[in-house]
Amino acid sequence: MDINAIRGHRIAIVGGGLAGIAAAEALSRFPFEIHVFEAKRSLGGRAGAYRDPHNPTLIDRCQHVAMGCCTNFLGLCRRLHLRDCFRRDTKLHFIDAEGRKHVFAANRWLPAPLHLAGAFHRQRYLSPDEQKKITSALWEMAPPSAESKYAGWTMRDWLVEKQQSETAIARFWEIVLVSALGAPLSEVSFTAARKVMVDGFLRNHQAYQVYVPTIPLQDVFDVQAAQKLGERGVHFHRQTSVKQVAYFNSRFNVRYGQGQEGTFENFISAIPWQQAPKIFSPILKNLMPKLDRLDEIESSSISSVHLWLDRPITSLSHAVLLDRMSQWVFNHGSRQLGDVSAYYYQVVISASQNLNGIPHEEIARQVFEELNSAFGASPPPKLLEQQVVTERQAVFAATPEMEELRPSQGTILPGLALAGDWTKTGWPSTMEGAVRSGYMAAEAILRKYGYHKPVGDADLPVAKLSKMLWGIGKENYLG
C-alpha cells in the first residue's frame, strides 16, 4: 500500500453512532481526510443519553453493556483510551421469585466450558431435571454443524423439540437470550441464539464477564471518543444531516446541511436501516439491490425504567430478576435530584412491545414494586422520581429471515461501503455488532487502495477443551 497515494483522499462517513465512530477510528490510522456527519447534536447513536430538567447529570436512554466476547468493542475502547469508562463485573446475580440471590461466577481453575458448571448448578430455581436437560441442549447446539442443521428454526421451536420445560425456557433461555437479542424466542432464530450461547459461555473463560459503563454513554462517545478522534484529525459535523449522495467522475458528491455540497473519494453510510436507502441517488441504489428489501427487517423495542429513591434498595451493582416484568437492574448509586440526594436505579426490559399502551406511571409503579419484592428492603424506600423511556426501534429482531436481508459492508463500487449493526456481521444488534460493521466497512474502503489486512480484533481464543469437544473455533475472524 502506497501511503502517499492516499494522502489527503477524503472520506465522508454519514452517521456518528458506534459504527461510524469505529470506521473513523480505523481509517484515522491512515492519512485520509475524514469527515463524520451526524444529524443529531451528539455522537453515539442509540448508545446516547438525554438531560432531564430535574437532573444535573446526563441519563442514558437505555443501559448498554458489553461482554468479554465483545473483542472489537473492547478493542475500540482500548484504542481510544475509554476502558476506564467501564467496570468489569465477574459475578452475575440472579434473584428468584422469592427474593433469593443466586451468584453466577466462573471457577478460576477450570477451563472453558467447565468453568461455569458450578455456577450453573448453583441456580437452584431450576430443578435437577431441568438443569440436566439444559446441559444436554447446550451440548447439542455447541458444534458448528448445528448451525446448518437447524437453519430456519426459531429458538422456541428448537427448545420445545429438545423438551425444555416452560420454567426452564422462562428462567434460563429467555432471561439470557431475550436480553441479548431483543426479541421473543418465538421470533429469534436458532442461529442467533447459538451465537450468544457459544460465544458468551462456551468458548472462553472470560467471555461471560460483563462490562458496564460507569459514566453516561454520551460522555464516553460524544466527548471522550470524539476528543481522541479529533486529535487524530477527524472532522465532526454535528446537527448536519446528509440529504443525498451521488456518484460522478469517480467521486461521491454529498449534499448536506443547508444546501452545502462536498466531493469525496470515498463514502460510508453508517445510519440505521430505515434511513439508509433514502440518501442514495437512484443510480447508486441500483448498485445495491439489497437496499430495496431493508423495509422487511423487523424491529424490536427496549424500555428503560429510571427510578430515584430516597434510600438504597440494594447494594448489588446489578442483578437479573426472574419471573418478573423487570429483567436487568443496574445500580448507579447516589445522584443529585434537584435539591436532594437520591439513589438511582435503571431497569431494562427487552422486547417490550407488550408494554405499548400502558401508561408510564403504571409501568414504573410495577417495576418499583418488583424491586421491593426482589430485595426485601424494610422499610421500603420512597419513590422520588420516575421516568420510562422506550426505544421502539431499538434493535432489529434476529429472526430466521434476517440473515438473508443483511447486506455486506463492501459494495460493487470501490470506495462505497455500508456500516451499521444491521449489516452482515454474524452478530446480533449489539454494540459489538455495530463496531464490527464499522471496522468491516473501513476494510472495504482500504481494499480499494490495496490494503487487505484486518483492522479489528480477532475473537477470543477457543479453549482447548471446547475445541476438542465440539470443534468450536472453525469460524474465521469477523465471520
**Binding site residues for FAD, as ranges?**
38-39, 242
How long a stretch of residues is the chain?
Answer: 479
| Residues in contact with 335: Cβ distance below 8 Å, sequence separation at least 6, in sequence order | 55, 57, 308, 341, 342, 343, 344
Given a contact cutoff of 8 angstroms between Cβ atoms, the answer to whether 93 and 103 are in contact is yes
- The letter for the amino acid at 427 is W
Q: 3-state DSSP call for residue 288?
A: coil
Q: What is the DSSP letter of 209?
A: -
Residue list, annotated binding site: 38-39, 242
Cα-atom radius of gyration of the chain, to the nearest Å? 23
Given a contact cutoff of 8 angstroms between Cβ atoms, the answer to whether 212 and 89 are in contact is yes
Q: Is the peptide bond before 143 cis (omega within 30 degrees of 0)?
A: no
| Residues in contact with 123: Cβ distance below 8 Å, sequence separation at least 6, in sequence order | 94, 102, 104, 131, 171, 172
Rounded-to-integer distance, Cα 164 and Cα 213, Å: 35
Given a contact cutoff of 8 angstroms between Cβ atoms, the answer to whether 146 and 473 are in contact is no
Phi-psi region of 22 (alpha: psi -120 to 50; beta: other; left: phi over 0): alpha
Rounded-to-integer distance, Cα 368 and Cα 305, Å: 9
Query: DSSP letters along 103-147, please?
Result: EEE--TTSPTTGGGHHHHHT-TTS-HHHHHHHHHHHHHH-STHHH
Q: Which three cell numbers stand for residue 89?
A: 463485573
The total of other beta-carbon atoms located within 10 Å of residue 122's CB is 13
Given a contact cutoff of 8 angstroms between Cβ atoms, the answer to whether 95 and 320 are in contact is yes
Q: Which three cell numbers stand for residue 32?
A: 485520509
Distances (CA, A) of 241 to 66, 324, 393: 29, 41, 20
Q: Which of 98, 168, 87 is CA-nearest to residue 321?
A: 98
Task: Tally the C-alpha atoms within 13 A of residue 245's C-alpha that lie toward its C-beta.
Answer: 27
Q: Which residues pair with 248 in a beta bridge?
A: 251
Rounded-to-integer distance, Cα 398 and Cα 193, Å: 9
